[in-house]
């Protein structure tokens, strides 16, 4: 279904089960396939394919889905595969995301809102990218990894473990977290109290020569008077404790 408010450029292919929201723009040469639901006011550039068959040899044509929210900008040559039955059945992208040229979102991945995937960022299957996270250019993310909220991954990083929320993580010789994403957090309105508290938590985790378990216990014991700052530390601790692959430190 394509509303009259949508603009569909030349050489676009829209499958029979695709549902588009109002005021979407398909620039040209866009392929939308499978059970795909796309929200309102999305702009999709040339040679992008959304809802295509997953790159999974076990996929046998099951009726799986792709779901996108509103107000996303999806640049040239992006590929977003639909889900698989064993992976939950849905590949999902939230709202207000910028997916830059040649990025790939693999089957069953879950991308939150206000995220940026820079040029040629690559999410393997089953990856979770939480809200406000940025994956840098030419950065592949391994299957089943989670990129925490507000994290910033520098270009060219190979991600094989979970990326801590609020962190600035990059690869020089090896992947390391270099502390909090201070610039990004400041731009999003984080108060001085929140930034200071997160810096204290990260010093315990990265610079205090404590193992992860001991650092987490020290973070839990931090005296924090600001309610938002306390919630940030609790979010960081919860992320670490539920990580199945370990975190990049």
pLDDT digits (tens, 9 = 90+) for 83-107: 999 999 999 999 999 999 999 999 9
Identify the pLDDT of residue 172: 64
CATH 3.40.640.10 corresponds to the domain 184-242: no
Identify the pLDDT of residue 208: 86
Statement: residue 52 has pLDDT above 90: yes
Identify the pLDDT of residue 55: 96
> Which of 5, 18, 78, 1 has its CA nearest to residue 46?
78
Going by pLDDT thresholds of 50, 70 and 90, the confidence category of residue 188 is very high
Statement: residue 116 has pLDDT above 80: yes
For the chain, the structural domain boundaries read 7-129, 184-242
| φ, ψ (nearest 5 deg) of residue 230 | -60, -40
Query: Which percentage of the chain shows pLDDT scores above 90?
Result: 92
Catalytic residues, which ones?
107-108, 125
Going by pLDDT thresholds of 50, 70 and 90, the confidence category of residue 43 is very high
Average pLDDT, rounded, for the chain: 95
Identify the pLDDT of residue 176: 78
Statement: residue 246 has pLDDT above 60: yes
Identify the pLDDT of residue 174: 64
| φ, ψ (nearest 5 deg) of residue 104 | -130, 130
- The strands making up 98-99's β-sheet, listed across from edge to edge, are 7-8, 25-26, 43-44, 73-74, 98-99, 116-117, 134-135, 152-153, 167-171, 175-180
CA count, 13 A, side-chain hemisphere, 146: 18
Render pLDDT for 54-70 as a digit per residue (tens, 0 to 9): 999 999 999 999 999 99
Render pLDDT for 154-185 as a digit per residue (tens, 0 to 9): 999 999 999 999 999 987 656 678 889 999 99
Neighbours of 211 (CB within 10 A): 9
Identify the pLDDT of residue 56: 95
Identify the pLDDT of residue 177: 83
Average pLDDT over residues 186-193: 95
CATH fold of 7-129? UDP N-Acetylglucosamine Acyltransferase; domain 1 (2.160.10)
Identify the pLDDT of residue 15: 97
């Amino acid at each position: 279904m394509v509303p009259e408010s949508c603009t569909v450029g030349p050489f676009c292919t829209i499958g029979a089960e695709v549902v588009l929201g109002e005021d979407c723009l398909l620039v040209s040469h866009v392929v939308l396939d499978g059970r795909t639901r796309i929200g309102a006011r999305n702009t999709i550039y040339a040679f992008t394919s959304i809802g295509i068959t997953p790159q999974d040899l076990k996929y046998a044509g099951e009726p799986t889905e792709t779901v996108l929210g509103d107000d996303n900008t999806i640049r040239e040559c992006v590929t977003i595969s639909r889900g698989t039955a064993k992976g939950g059945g849905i590949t999902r992208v939230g709202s207000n995301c910028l997916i830059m040229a040649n990025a790939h979102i693999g089957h069953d991945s879950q991308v939150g809102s206000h995220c940026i995937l820079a040029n040629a960022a690559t999410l393997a299957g089953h990856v979770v990218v939480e809200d406000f996270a940025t994956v840098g250019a030419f950065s592949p993310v391994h299957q089943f990894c989670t990129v925490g909220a507000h994290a910033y991954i520098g270009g060219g990083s190979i991600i094989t473990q979970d990326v801590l929320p609020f962190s600035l993580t990059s690869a020089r010789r090896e992947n390391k977290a270099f502390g909090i994403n201070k610039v990004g957090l400041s731009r999003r309105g984080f108060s001085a109290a929140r930034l200071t508290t997160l810096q204290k938590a990260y010093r315990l985790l990265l610079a205090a020569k404590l193992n992860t378990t001991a650092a987490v216990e020290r973070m839990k014991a931090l005296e924090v008077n600001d309610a938002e700052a306390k919630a940030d530390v609790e979010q960081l601790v919860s992320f670490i404790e539920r990580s199945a692959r370990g975190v990049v430190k």
